[in-house]
Structure formats: structure tokens, C-alpha cells
Amino acid sequence: MSTTTQAKPQATSLGYKGMLIDGQSVDSASGARITVENPAKLQPIAEVPRGNAADVDRAVAAATKAYGEWRRMPPRERGKLLLKIAEALQARTEELARTIALETGNALRTQARGEANITADIYRYFGGLGSELKGETIPLGENVLSYTRREPLGVVGAVIPWNAPVMLAALKIAPALCAGNTMVMKAAEDAPLGVLLMAEICQQFLPPGVLNVLTGFGEECGGAIASHPGIRKLSFTGSTEVGKIIMRAAAERIVPVSLELGGKSPSIVYPDADEDWAVDGIIAAMRFTRQSQSCTAGSRLFLHEDIFDSFLAKLEKKATALKIGDPLDEATDIGTIINNKQFTKVCRYIDEGLKRPDAKLVFGGLPPKTGPLSEGYFTIPTVFADRSNDWRLAREEIFGPVLVAIRWSDEAEAIRMANDSHYGLAAYVWTHDIGRGLRAAHAIESGWVQVNQGLGQVPGMSYGGFKQSGIGREFSLEGMLDSFTQRKNVTVNLMV
């Protein structure tokens, strides 16, 4: 949870981290601040500036000023700077990981360390792609030279969520900068500290103004980015609801927009996969160790009727063995929900499930009201069964550890139910029969289908959503070209 104060710069005993504008760590123009809380202890841990439209103006001005030289820098030179950032981040992954764990409540061992490491890897991946910003030649005849250039768009406005904040920030910063754009980004109000630390490290290598990172509230700061006339491209990761607001703002000015939005991803388990490896895979795909606060969480579990009960029994044994506790404790598997709003929302869904006589609680339930787990926003993995895919809990993105298990008997029916969603981000298929697995993968309407694994994204994959889960791809070389460059054609008459 974040609260706001009108504190004077030195009037607090909390840690303070400024925003990055034009190469400097700065306070907001208004002097107002946001308090960042540790969701595991419900204690304030730091303050950050509460940026508003005036700060967005300052940041866009800096990014516009820096753009000319940055876009003219040879792409491989830009790439080399990203590679230096990658090494500097790699050297500080533990500090980064601890910051992420402290502010998000994501467990250090199972989540935050992995996020810090992949963040360095993202800069490393895009750092090597400078020379891939290639155009084409078009064969218009011997007397004509016609070719395309990949040019940057200008100042990119980016807005990100809190669930994997540093990785999601890197996924916009690295490709956008590699392609020659400059950036103004807003971090999520609940998890700005890791992003600011990463920005500080980036700034050791970048010219001032190339990267600007603001902190602030959604509409006040993010809205000012979305509608700013100096911004030439919008890149948003977050909920489908806010994605629509961003898209409307982009439509007003006809700027291109990339949207990485929500999901309600299906997992289809065939009868031959009633085995431990598949159960482990379902736990990973459901992201139980990130409290299922993941856009790609496989939160609809379609189990073949022949294995329905036996699979759930195995799942219960393994999921309930996961250790919930202090995110910074090395023994902890599962940390906390990010804030009170999300915690209340998750509890409301669980409560609805408990109250429905036609839904069966397989395991889990409401969070403990006493003991150490009642001291933070801790929830417990929860599985409901016996209701259909039409149920609210099977349709809405809960963004918490609530899994709905649904029975199927016919493959076509399983795929129809999997596709019966306005989301289409990720999907998982579990079977030894690779033909069947691939048939299902091809029939599922999702941007990313994994067969027999439930892992996270890897740089190089073209990752993104079908349907209301988003528009555009950013994770790969192709994503960088599509999302952060525009094509220009030059045609020359060679006869003059």
C-alpha cells in the first residue's frame, strides 16, 4: 500500500529515493511524496516523490533534448552501453533482489533473485542486437535503389505494474533504448524502489535524459505521460482496464501503443499426465510462489475426468508443503500479496467460493487471522472444484493464489472452454503424447502456449497477448523492431 505525504525533503527518518530526470536524482516539483510499505510487515520502508504533470513535462523535455544525439549514436555503440549496464546490474543482483523482495513481498529465494538475474540478462540480450536494426532493399529494377531504414520513434512513454517491477521495466527500457529511442517511464506506486535502483545503475552509463524514471500515482503521473504531446509511442504493462484508458489516450494523438495486459490462462491436463512432474508444473504455472500475482498464471485448471481426484490429491500434498513466510527468509517459498486493496480483493473471491454450496474447496481458504501470517498480506494457495468455466472465479483475473479446477472428458470441449475467455495471454498443456499436445497448442487462442512446462518468459521469445490480453510484442528482436522502430522507405532514381 502507498500513502502520500507533503513531507519536506529531510523531514523523515525513512529512506528516501529520488526520481531520475535528466541524469539527476530529483524530488517532485510539488515536494509531495509517496510512502512505500513492506507488505510482509505493514511497515513503511521508504519515501519516493509523488510526480505529477509538471514532472512529466520536465522528463519529456529532457528525453526530447537527449533524443537527437542518442538516435545518431551508432546502434552497436548504444548496444555496448547496454552491455555495460548488464554487467553492473549483474554485480548488484543481490541488492536488487533484496529491494524487490522488501517492497513487493515476493520471496527472495524463489522469486526476487530470479527477477534480478533475468533483468541483467535482458540488457545483455538487447545489448547484442544493435546491429540487427536492419532494413531491406526492394528490387525495383536496375535504375532504382529503394531501401527501408528502421528508425526510432522518439520519446517513448512507459507505464509498468508492481508484480515483477524491475524485469518489466527492463523489458521496455532495453529494447527501446537499443533502437535509438529515449524514454520517460512511470514505476508502480507500490514497487518503485527496485526500478529506481536499476535506473541509478543505468544512469552510470547513459547520457543524461536518455532514460527518465518517475514515481507517482496512476492517473496523476501515468495519465500525464499517456496524454503528453511530446511522447511519440506508448508502452504499457498492467491491467486490461487501464490498458483501455492508455489506448484511448493514444488514439487522441494517433501514437502507436503496445499493451501487455491481464490474463486468465488455462492449463489442460490429459489423462496420461497424472504424475508428479505435471503437478510440479501446475504449481509453477500457477505461480503459487509469487502468490499467483502473475499475468501468465495458469489459473484455470482443466483436468480430465479420469484423473480429476487423484491429480488434485497430489496437488494438495505438494502445494500445502510450500512454506509461506517472511519474503527475506531463505526458507520461504511464498511471500505476500502486494497491498491491502489486492489482499481484500483476493479474500473476497475466496469468500465467494466458500459460500457457494455448489463449489467444493479442495484445499486452502481464507488467510489466517492470528499468528505471524496475520501480520502481513499473506494468503494461502487455494483450490476450488466442481463448478463450471462460467463461474466468476473462473472468468475474472483474481491476481492471487486461487485456482479453479474444471472437469473435462472430450478434447474439443476442453479446448472450447480454454478459449472461452476474453483473455488470451498464456496457456499450458500437459501430456506425453506430443501430437496431442501440439494439436491443443495450435488450437488454443493465446499468445504463448507451453507444453509440459510452466516456466517464465525468456528474452528472445515474442511474448504478448491475444484478444484483450494485449497488442504488440516487446520481448524479442522482432518485438524491438515492431514496437520500438518505424520503417522509412527511401527510393532513389539512379538515372539522374
As annotated, the active-site residues are: 260, 295
CB of 450 to ligand NAP, least distance (A): 15
Closer CB to ligand NAP, residue 161 or residue 194?
Answer: 161
> Quick one: which of 135, 218, 368, 460 contacts ligand NAP (CB under 6 A)?
218
Task: Write the binding mask 171 to 190 for ligand NAP: x where contact by CB under 6 A, - elsewhere.
Answer: ---------------x-xxx
Per CB under 6 A, does 39 bind ligand NAP? no
Q: Is the dihedral of CA 159, 160, 165, 171 positive or negative?
A: negative
Within 8 A by CB and 6+ apart from 390, the residues are: none
Size of the site for ligand NAP (CB under 6 A): 31
Closer CB to ligand NAP, residue 4 or residue 146?
Answer: 4
* Grid cell locating 274: 497424472
Per residue, what are the HEC states of 163-231?
CCHHHHHHHHHHHHHHCCCEEEEEECCCCCHHHHHHHHHHHCCCCCCCEEEEECCHHHHHHHHHCCCCC
Task: Tell me if 260 sits within 8 A of 471, measured CB to CB.
Answer: no
Task: Tell me if 322 sits within 8 A of 289, measured CB to CB.
Answer: yes
Per CB under 6 A, does 222 bind ligand NAP? yes
Closer CB to ligand NAP, residue 295 or residue 404?
Answer: 295
30 DSSP 8-state letter: T
Closer CB to ligand NAP, residue 208 or residue 218?
Answer: 218
Cα–Cα distances in Å, from 198 out to 87, 165, 338, 361, 444?
12, 10, 20, 42, 37
- Burial pattern 65-103, b for ≥16 Cβ within 10 A else e, equals bbbeebbebebeebbbbbbbbbebbbebbeebbbbbbbb
Residues 290-329 that bind ligand NAP (CB under 6 A): 295
CB of 159 to ligand NAP, least distance (A): 5
* Grid cell locating 377: 498480506
> Which residue stretches of 32-164 are H helix?
53-72, 75-91, 93-104, 113-127
Residues 97-156 that bind ligand NAP (CB under 6 A): none
Partners of residue 471 on adjacent β-strands: 259
Residues 240-269 that bind ligand NAP (CB under 6 A): 242, 245, 260-263
Per CB under 6 A, does 237 bind ligand NAP? yes
Segment interacting with ligand NAP (CB under 6 A) among 18-26, 97-105, 158-166, 404-412: 158-166
Closer CB to ligand NAP, residue 57 or residue 306?
Answer: 57
Closer CB to ligand NAP, residue 66 or residue 226?
Answer: 226
CB of 241 to ligand NAP, least distance (A): 6
Per CB under 6 A, does 5 bind ligand NAP? no
Residues 400-429 that bind ligand NAP (CB under 6 A): 425
CB of 314 to ligand NAP, least distance (A): 28
Partners of residue 324 on adjacent β-strands: 334
Closest to 428 in 3D by CA, of 303, 344, 316, 308:
303
CB of 310 to ligand NAP, least distance (A): 31
Which residues of the shown chain bind ligand NAP in the complex (CB under 6 A)?
Answer: 159-163, 168, 186, 188-190, 217-219, 222-223, 226, 237-239, 242, 245, 260-263, 295, 397, 399, 425, 465, 470
